[in-house]
Amino acid sequence: MANVAARSAAATFRRRLTGRIASQFGESDNHAGQCLVLRVAGAEYSPVVSWLGMGTTIDRRYVLAGPIGHGGVSIVYEAVDTTANERRAIKVLTPAFANDPWARERVRQEAVIADRLRHPSVPKIYDVGDAPLADGTMVPYVVMELLTGVVLASRLAGGALPWREAVSVAATVADVLAVAHRRGIVHRDLSPQNIMLTTKGVKIVDFGLAVVTEGARSNGTRLATRHPDKYPGKIVAEANVAEPADDVYALGVLIYQMLTGRSPYPTATAGAHLAGPRFRFVAPTPVLVVPGMPKAVADICRHCMSKRPADRPDGSSVALALWSVVLSSPESSPERADPDPTPSWRDGSWSPG
C-alpha cells in the first residue's frame, strides 16, 4: 500500500509540474513533459535537452519529473523515489557517452568519491545503478540529494558578493577541501559553476573530475548501493594527475572572483587557463581592496594563489584562517578597514594581529 500511495503522489507531482511549466512558459503539455525550462544567468530561458521523458521510471523505483541541469557527459533530473517517498536528483550519463568506458567510470567514481567524503557541504549519495535505453544499452546513474538554491556563478553574474558572505562561502569550501585532501581526494574543477548556495548552506555539487592521488588509501568507506556487483565502491588511485595545491590555487581564484565579481586573469575567464588537471598559467598576483574587509582576507587570497605550489598553504590552514575572520567579524559589527582584533595571515600561518 505504501508503494501504491507513493506512486500516486509521484503521478500527481508530475501532473502539477507539467501544468506549471506549460502555464508559465506557454508550452504544450507534451513539450513541458519532455523538458524543464531553466533560467541561465545572463541568458534567455532555454530548454535542457532531455532524452528521458517525464514519467520515465528507473529501476522500478525512481520516477523522473524532468531535467534540472546538465554537465559535459550527463543530465541531472528531478525525480521521486517511490520507495522512500522523497524527491531526489538523478544524474544520468547521456546516450552519446553510453559506450565510453572513461565516461562510465567517471560517473561511478564521482559517486564513490562524494560518498566517501560524507561532508555536510557535499550532496548525499543514495544509490547508483544502470538505466536502460530504448536500444537496450545500459547507462549509469547516480541518485543524489535534491538541492534548492542558486549556482554561485549566477550570483556573481550580478556582481561581487558582500565580503562577509564571500569569506563565509570560501571558508566552507576550504573546509570541504581540507577533508578531501586528508582522504587523498583532489577536486580539480573548483569553480563558481560547481558551487551552490542552497537552503541548506553552501554545497560543492560536482566531483566529476575529482581523483584520488597515488598513495591514498582506496579501501575506505564503501558506497552503500543496491548494485554491489556492478558498483563495488572501490576508488581507483591515479598517479601524478593533480595535487592538493592545485585546489588551493583554485580556491584563491574563487575568493578573488567572489570579492570582485571578475576573474583575476586580465584577458579571459579563469576557465580558459584551467584546461587539464594542472594550471597552465597562473594569474598576476591579486590585489584586493574591499571597503571594511580585514586585510587578512587579501593576504589569504594572495597566498593561495602563490605561483609556486610549495608556497601555498594547505586546505586546513586556509579553512581555519577564513573561519577565524568570519567569527571575529560579526554582521552587526561596524565596518572597519583593518580591525585590530582580527587575526592576520603571516608567511602561510595564522597568528594574532
Please give the Cα distance from 111 to 227 (Å, whole number).
13
Q: What is the pLDDT of residue 331?
A: 65
Residue 112 · residue 233 · CB < 8 Å: yes
For the packed helices 295-304 and 244-260, what is the interaxial angle rounded to 10 degrees? Answer: 140
The answer on pLDDT for 175 being more than 80 is yes
User: Is 268's pLDDT higher than 90?
Assistant: no
Task: Say which range, 56-60, 196-200, 223-227, has the weakest mean pLDDT.
Answer: 223-227
Are 131 and 139 within 8 A, CB to CB?
yes
> Average pLDDT in the 274-283 region?
48
Domains of the chain: 2-145 (3.30.200.20), 149-351 (1.10.510.10)
**Choice between 242 and 129, residue whose per-residue pLDDT is larger:** 129
Determine whether 189 is an active site residue.
yes
What percent of the chain lies above the pLDDT cut of 70? 65
Which residue carries 591514498 as its cell?
Answer: 216
pLDDT at 35 over 90: no
Confidence of residue 1 (pLDDT cuts 50, 70, 90): low
Averaged confidence pLDDT in the chain: 75
pLDDT at 86: 96
**d(C-alpha 193, C-alpha 114), whole Å:** 17
Instruction: State the pTM of this model.
Output: 0.72
Q: What is the pLDDT of residues 207-242, one digit of tens each?
A: 888 888 755 544 433 333 344 444 444 444 444 567
Distances from the Cα of 14 to the Cα of 80, 93, 131, angstroms = 9, 22, 20
Residue 54, amino acid: M
175, 189, 246, 314: the catalytic one is: 189
Q: What is the pLDDT of residue 228?
A: 40
